[in-house]
């Protein structure tokens, strides 16, 4: 067999991820349906709750998003807006919300904590000092929450064996093509994979935008300070919960998270950052995702066999399955954003094969404009020392 024959035979290996991806996409229809059919708890459990809301900078729809947590149908809770910089431009917004409600319900914590390299954890630590209740809810600043959010995320903690509760999310409010591609990454790829893993038992998930945990449990797991150098602090927290013998609950309650990207460069770096997160959290499962990336390999196969009609037929079938399953999953999740940008899904899938490869080669991430270098064990450190004053 000559070299040309070897390359021709090698092209048939492309069909492995094509078939694997189509089967996986079809399975996500079933797993998403099964997950969303799970009932929410109806028990009467409303302990006092401290909500930690890390805030940094002006984000799109920031005031509207921050106000939703202050408008919960819940009896006893406080919202602690955590700010590090006294000159943060978001500070007037949280002060406005505090004046609208009350200083008893809305607390502002301005504290320049530097426990590690993870800015979100540093921010949360300042607010944790002011929290008065044992039940803690960590809710990102870009989440847009319905009035029954607190009631639902807290209820599973009535079971003392439940260590942590988290919720799936979908991105909303895309205004540009690159924000639409970001929506497709999360809503049509990441979240279906999380629900697939949850239903099949393949892996657990702890999703950072929305977490409920007892303060006593957090202390037993090493405290928030011990997460301050982790790139994926939410996964590390979840890992400690389930390896410590406690239950992790992924609630069948999907929240909205606003997407906010400035430009194409911001989108590209965030995609690489996202894959680096996933790789650091679950190296082997992330590596295995190569066998379910159907669209780019179907395209490569059809180009390799461009003169043969059945090669293009395989590409058309692959696209039909990908489009169809993504659209049906979006409808189940009540996700109009994915449907709006659905035509760009093949473009997004092909780009993400590049991001997948870059996640192995790059050891530096950009978070909030600051470069960090990845180290062993999922931790990170500043890529260069801060300038001396």
* Residue 27 placed within a domain: yes
- Model-wide pTM > 0.75: yes
Same domain, 288 and 371: yes
Q: How far apart are CA 226 and CA 216, in angstroms?
A: 15
**What pLDDT shows up at residue 369?**
62
* Residue 251 placed within a domain: yes
**Residues 6 or more apart from 33 whose CB is under 8 A from it?**
332
Strand partners, 367: 370
DSSP three-state, residue 26: helix
**Residues 6 or more apart from 253 whose CB is under 8 A from it?**
40, 149, 152, 153, 167, 168
* Residue 82 placed within a domain: yes
The last residue of one of the domains, among 230, 261, 292, is 261
* Residue 266 placed within a domain: no
Same domain, 98 and 29: no
DSSP for 315-363 reads HHHHHHHHHHHHHHHHHHTT-HHHHHTGGGHHHHHHHHHHHHHHHHH--
In this prediction, residues 11-38 reach a mean pLDDT of 94
Name the residue range of residue 58's domain. Answer: 40-168+207-261
**What pLDDT shows up at residue 191?**
96
Q: Which of 154-168, 219-233, 300-314 has the highest mean pLDDT?
A: 154-168
* Residue 180 placed within a domain: no
The last residue of one of the domains, among 193, 226, 261, is 261
Same domain, 136 and 284: no
The last residue of one of the domains, among 231, 261, 291, is 261
Q: 160, 100, 149: which is closest to 256 by C-alpha? A: 149
Q: 154, 130, 146: which is closest to 78 by C-alpha? A: 130
Share of the chain above pLDDT 90, in %: 71
Of residues 113 and 333, the one with the higher pLDDT is 333
Same domain, 50 and 8: no
Same domain, 242 and 131: yes
Q: Rounded to the nearest 5°, which phi and psi values hold at 61? A: 60, 30
* Residue 202 placed within a domain: no
CATH code, domain carrying 244: 3.90.550.10
Q: What is the pLDDT of residues 98-129, one digit of tens each?
A: 999 999 999 999 998 888 888 899 999 999 99
Same domain, 47 and 91: yes
Q: What is the pLDDT of residues 308-331, one digit of tens each?
A: 888 899 999 999 999 999 999 999
Same domain, 73 and 18: no
Q: Is the dihedral of CA 161, 164, 170, 172 positive or negative?
A: positive
Same domain, 293 and 255: no
Number of domains in the chain: 2
Same domain, 214 and 296: no
* Residue 130 placed within a domain: yes
- The answer, yes or no, to whether residue 169 has pLDDT greater than 60, is yes
- Going by pLDDT thresholds of 50, 70 and 90, the confidence category of residue 138 is very high
**What pLDDT shows up at residue 97?**
96
**Residues 6 or more apart from 192 whose CB is under 8 A from it?**
28, 31, 32, 329
* Residue 270 placed within a domain: no
- The answer, yes or no, to whether residue 388 has pLDDT greater than 50, is no
Of residues 279 and 185, the one with the higher pLDDT is 185
Q: What is the pLDDT of residues 41-80, one digit of tens each?
A: 888 899 999 999 999 999 999 999 999 999 999 999 999 9
Same domain, 222 and 302: no
Burial class (CB within 10 angstroms; exposed 0-12, middle 13-18, buried 19+) of 45? middle
Same domain, 112 and 232: yes
Same domain, 158 and 216: yes
Helix 177-185 and helix 264-281, axial crossing angle in degrees, nearest 10: 10
């Amino acid at each position: 067999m000559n070299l040309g024959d070897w390359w021709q035979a090698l092209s048939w290996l492309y069909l492995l991820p094509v078939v694997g991806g189509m089967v996986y996409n079809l399975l996500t229809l079933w797993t998403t349906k099964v997950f969303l059919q799970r009932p929410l708890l109806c028990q009467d459990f409303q302990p006092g709750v401290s909500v930690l809301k890390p805030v940094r900078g002006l984000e799109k729809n920031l005031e509207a998003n921050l106000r939703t947590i202050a408008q919960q149908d819940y009896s006893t809770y406080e919202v602690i807006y955590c700010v590090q910089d006294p000159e943060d431009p978001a500070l007037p917004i949280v002060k406005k919300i505090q004046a609208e409600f009350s200083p008893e319900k809305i607390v502002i914590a301005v504290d320049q904590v530097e426990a590690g390299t993870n800015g979100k954890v540093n921010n949360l630590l300042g607010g944790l000092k002011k929290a008065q209740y044992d039940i803690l809810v960590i809710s990102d600043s870009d989440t847009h929450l319905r009035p029954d959010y607190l009631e639902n995320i807290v209820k599973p903690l009535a079971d003392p064996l439940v260590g942590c509760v988290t919720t799936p999310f979908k991105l909303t409010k895309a205004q540009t093509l690159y924000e639409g591609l970001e929506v497709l990454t999360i809503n049509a790829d990441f979240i279906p994979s999380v629900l697939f893993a949850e239903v099949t038992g393949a892996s657990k998930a702890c999703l950072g935008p929305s977490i409920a945990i007892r303060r006593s449990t957090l202390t037993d797991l090493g405290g928030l300070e011990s997460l301050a150098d982790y790139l994926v602090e939410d996964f590390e927290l979840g890992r400690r919960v389930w390896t410590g013998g406690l239950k992790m609950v992924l609630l069948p309650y999907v929240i909205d998270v606003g997407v906010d990207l400035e430009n194409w460069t911001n989108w590209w770096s965030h995609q690489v950052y996202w894959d680096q997160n996933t790789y650091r959290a679950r190296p082997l499962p992330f590596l295995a995702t190569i066998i379910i990336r159907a669209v780019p390999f179907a395209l490569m196969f059809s180009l390799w066999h461009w003169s043969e009609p059945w090669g293009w037929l395989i590409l058309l079938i692959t696209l039909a399955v990908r489009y169809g399953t993504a659209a049906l999953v979006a409808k189940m999740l009540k996700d109009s954003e994915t449907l709006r940008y659905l035509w760009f899904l093949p473009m997004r899938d092909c780009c993400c094969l590049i991001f997948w490869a870059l996640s192995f080669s790059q050891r530096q991430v950009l978070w909030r404009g600051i470069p960090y270098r990845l180290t062993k064990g999922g931790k990170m450190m500043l890529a260069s020392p801060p300038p001396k004053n």
